[in-house]
Amino acid sequence: MKLISTFLSIAVLTTAAFASPFDPRTYLQSRAGRILETRAEDISPPAEYSNTLIQQRADPHILKHSDGFYYFTASVPAYDQVILRRSETIEGLRNAPETVVYQRNATSGPGSGYLWAPEIHYIDGKWYIYVASEINGRGSWAIRPIVFEGTGENPLTATWVDKGVIDTGINDFSLDMTYFEVNGVRYLSWAQTDPSFGSGTGLFIARWTNPWTVELPAVGISYPTLAWERIGHNVNEGAYVIVRNGKVFLTYSASATDHNYVVGLLTADETADLTDPNVWVKAQEPVFRSYEPTENWGPGHNCFTVSEDGLSDVFAYHSRGYKDIVGEPLNNPDRRTRVQKLYWRNDGTPDFGVPVAEGLTPVRLRTAGGDAQYLTNEGDATNIILGSDVPVEQTLFRIINPGLIGQGSVSLESANLPGHFISNQCGNAVLVEDNGSEKFKQAASFEQVVGLGDADGVSFKAGDEYLVVSLDGLVIIGPADDEAAATFFTE
Ligand SMILES: *[C@@H]1O[C@H](CO)[C@@H](O)[C@H](O)[C@H]1NC(C)=O
Ligand SMILES: *[C@@H]1O[C@H](CO)[C@@H](O)[C@H](O)[C@H]1NC(C)=O
């Protein structure tokens, strides 16, 4: 408690000191002596994973359960099984054995055709798997949400009972059911064709009566009305909820499942009646979309979970590693499960950034001296500055270890401009594209050492000098006279 109140009072002081325009001098003077006090409470440690997490698994759902395990399910390319994996770490899901908990084996009736986008939830001591299924046999396209109930501590070995089709009140194409609880009220939400809207799917919500029954009538809270929701098909689907900062954030995916697939966001107050369509506000632009520099196409159908230490929000989604698909996207097996950390803006809204490159996920580098001030790139060949509340991808760097000059070195690669590194250009820290020369490799390599101003942080050493925040707010390679200015916390 003491630490929290200390931090809060400092945050207020800092805000005052930063009253526009931002004055780095005030900032540097005001930070002295308080680094250790602020650190414990306001940091979210890095959550580092390696992408791709799982090949050929689309519509990923990862649930962290109270038994300490992460449970994973997803669509398989043949859409004929419901699979589960479990592991004590997210990274461990990659090679965890896969158990088939439901195998399509009939040619007619519920569960006989396509099985799409399963989710697993633990509700009142039992397991539930919601999955969209063709209920009138293969090829009928009569997709409806069905639910299986599992009894047993471990869902991989649980006994499953088919609880049948969930009646959504409109007997039409419906899929991607998700369960969540907000403010003590339980809900199911799903995608649904609404004949009164026309072709495509909107998002519906209803209070929950039991795991296989919703309170009717359900209400439509979002329809594909914006241009980016209507490319190829008119789609709102794949809803998932995270509650933070007094708000309910509901992500969904829009447009066809090719490179046009994107993530949209609805927001409501935590205390609102979520079955009132008027409480939901739709972001007018996608919050997550294809990104050519990292070769991620059609990212979407995300879910949220938390890191192993419980301190970071993480989202999982699928994307493809190439843009153009031959034939029907549904028959393309290459949607793969990826994970990255979810960051939050100062106003409490989520910042998904861009789908990051293959390999280790990047981190933010927060200066030890200030609140929410990060090493930031403003594009190719620009000086690294301290940024606050800039798009998160500009503040994300992958710490490549070993770095460009090999063992003992690290290099800091930009997340939004892959192949660009923080490099020493005549004493200035500049984001420059690797030109392959020895000179560049030297300029873009540092020795990572324990933070000079705080042992929980890191410092980046180049010869006798360090990566430091200078008095004018630019980042330079210079002497570490002010140890805090040479120390960064990874987030
Ligand atoms: C189909 O699979 C279910 C469970 O996966 C099993 O209980 C049932 O006996 C199977 N039916 C046939 C005809 O094989
Ligand atoms: C490559 O980059 C280094 C360091 O930035 C620079 O000194 C050198 O001139 C560049 N070489 C070429 C061929 O552009």
pLDDT computed for residue 112 by the predictor: 73
pLDDT computed for residue 43 by the predictor: 60
Q: Which of 134, 237, 258, 483 is catalytic?
A: 237
> Any residues with CB less than 8 A from the CB of 100 and at least 6 apart, and which?
81, 82, 83
The full DSSP string for 80-105 is -EEEEEEESSTGGGTTS--EEEEE--
pLDDT computed for residue 473 by the predictor: 84
pLDDT computed for residue 110 by the predictor: 66
Minimum-distance ligand 1 atom for the alpha carbon of 102:
5
pLDDT computed for residue 37 by the predictor: 31
Grouping H, G, I as helix, E, B as strand and the rest as coil, residue 59 is: strand
CA of 135 to the centre of ligand 1 (A): 15
Minimum-distance ligand 2 atom for the alpha carbon of 432:
5
CA of 431 to the centre of ligand 2 (A): 13
Burial of residue 234 (CB within 10 Å: 0-12, 13-18, 19+) is buried
Strand-pair partners of 421: 413, 432
CA of 400 to the centre of ligand 2 (A): 20
Neighbouring C-beta atoms of residue 251, cutoff 10 Å: 25
Q: What pLDDT, in 10s, does the model give residues 156-187?
A: 999 999 999 999 999 999 999 999 999 999 99
- Residue 357 near residue 418, CB atoms below 8 Å: yes
Q: What pLDDT, in 10s, does the model give residues 428-462?
A: 999 999 999 999 999 999 999 999 999 999 999 99
Active site annotation includes 270: no
Please give the helix or strand (H or E) that residue 131 lies within, else none: strand 126-134
Check pocket membership of 431 for ligand 2, CB cut-off 6 A.
no
Active site annotation includes 59: yes
Distances (CA, A) of 375 to 135, 383, 447, 484: 53, 10, 17, 14
Minimum-distance ligand 2 atom for the alpha carbon of 440:
4
Q: What's the predicted TM-score (pTM) here?
A: 0.89
Alpha helical stretches, state H, 346-445: 438-443
pLDDT computed for residue 244 by the predictor: 96
Burial of residue 309 (CB within 10 Å: 0-12, 13-18, 19+) is exposed
> How many angstroms separate the CA atoms of 237 and 251, rounded?
9
Amino acid of residue 279:
V
Regions of the chain with pLDDT less than 50: 1-41
